[in-house]
């Protein structure tokens, strides 16, 4: 059974809330750390480009495999999935979250041209993600990082 743990202190969790920086460690079936997610401190204002959310994904620990960066948009949550060289690979586009109160919220994983939907993930009681079997394992780890970032940012 896999699980995750967050490395933050009580003060950071209480003072920074959902905007807090964190290190999330995902432990695999063997009990070893398989993926590390590093999120820097960012305020939650969408008006300033320096406030856009980001997470760095390491798999195995200390080996960066990709990044998830929030993309500026006036009303939709949008993220870019990047590989270890910070080259754009996929996009994640969600609905206007404020308009989705008390309903499932679906985020679509799209190609860079936004023409092809790869898969989707949703907030449906538990946050889950569905990925194609042929997606590169590194990109799967980065998409898991996107799942955590979106959950912390919007829910």
Q: State residue 84's pLDDT score.
A: 96
Spatial distance between the Cα atoms of 91 and 102, rounded to a whole number of angstroms:
25
Cβ contacts of 72 within 8 Å, gap of 6 or more: 46, 49, 52, 78
Confidence (pTM): 0.82
Is residue 153 predicted with pLDDT exceeding 90?
A: no
- What confidence tier does 95 reach under pLDDT thresholds 50, 70, 90? confident
Calculate what percentage of the chain has a pLDDT beyond 90.
34
> What is the SS3 assignment for 109-131?
EECCCCCCEEEEEEEECEEEECC
Q: State residue 155's pLDDT score.
A: 65
First to last CA, the chain: 25
Count the Cβ atoms, other than its own, within 10 Å of residue 66.
27
Is residue 59 predicted with pLDDT exceeding 90?
A: yes
């Amino acid at each position: 059974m896999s699980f995750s743990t967050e490395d933050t202190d009580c003060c950071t969790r209480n003072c920074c809330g959902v905007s807090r920086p964190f290190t999330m460690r995902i432990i695999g079936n063997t009990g070893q750390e398989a993926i590390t997610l590093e999120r820097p401190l960012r305020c939650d204002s969408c008006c300033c480009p320096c406030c856009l959310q980001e997470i760095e994904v390491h798999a195995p620990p200390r080996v960066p495999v990709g990044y998830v960066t929030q993309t500026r948009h006036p009303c939709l949550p949008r993220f870019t999935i990047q590989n270890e060289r910070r080259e754009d690979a996929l996009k994640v586009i969600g609905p206007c979250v404020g308009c989705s109160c008390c309903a499932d919220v679906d985020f679509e994983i799209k190609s860079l041209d936004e023409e092809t939907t790869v898969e989707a993930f949703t907030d449906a009681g538990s946050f889950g993600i569905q990925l194609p079997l042929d997606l590169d394992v590194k990109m799967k780890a980065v998409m898991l990082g996107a799942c955590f970032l979106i959950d912390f940012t919007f829910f």
